[in-house]
Amino acid sequence: MHSPIDSESLSPNRTGSTPGQDNLAFGFPIFLLSESVIFLSFFVTYALLRWKNPDWFPPGVAGLDIPRAAINTGILVFSSAMIYVAERALKRHQLVTFRRFWLLTIALGSFF
C-alpha cells in the first residue's frame, strides 16, 4: 500500500533542501513584507491625520511626552541587544552568562 507521505517526498531534493525549507524561504519574506505594509500604513495614517488636524491634542494636553518615549525606545533596543548576547552565550554553552543576560532582558521588559 502506498502512503500519501512516503520517504521519497520527505527526502531532500536536488538542491539539498526539504519541501518545508522551501515553504519557509518563500513564506518568511512574504510575512516580513506584509508586516512592513501594515506599519507603513500606520505611519502614513498618522502623518495624514497630523497634516489635516494640526490641533489634535485633547484639551489640557500640550503635546507628546518625547523624553518618556525616548527612554522606552532605548530600553527596547537595549533589551533586544541583551537577548542577542544571551543567545550567543547559549550557543557557546555558557549557561551562567546566558542566564544573566536572559534575566537582564526580563528585567528590562518588566521595566518597560
pLDDT confidence of residue 80: 93
* pLDDT tens digits, 36-77: 999 999 999 999 988 888 787 888 888 778 899 999 999 999
Provide the 10 A C-beta neighbour count for residue 78. 14
Report the alpha-carbon distance of residue 67 to residue 80 in Å, rounded.
20
pTM of the model: 0.53
pLDDT confidence of residue 62: 80
The kind and range of the H/E element at 85 are: helix 66-91
Q: How confident is the model at residue 104 (pLDDT cuts 50, 70, 90)?
A: very high
Instruction: Say what angle helices 66-91 and 95-111 make with each other, to 10 degrees.
Output: 160
Report the alpha-carbon distance of residue 32 to residue 24 in Å, rounded.
12
Q: How confident is the model at residue 10 (pLDDT cuts 50, 70, 90)?
A: low
CA distances from 61 to 46, 56, 58 (A): 18, 10, 6
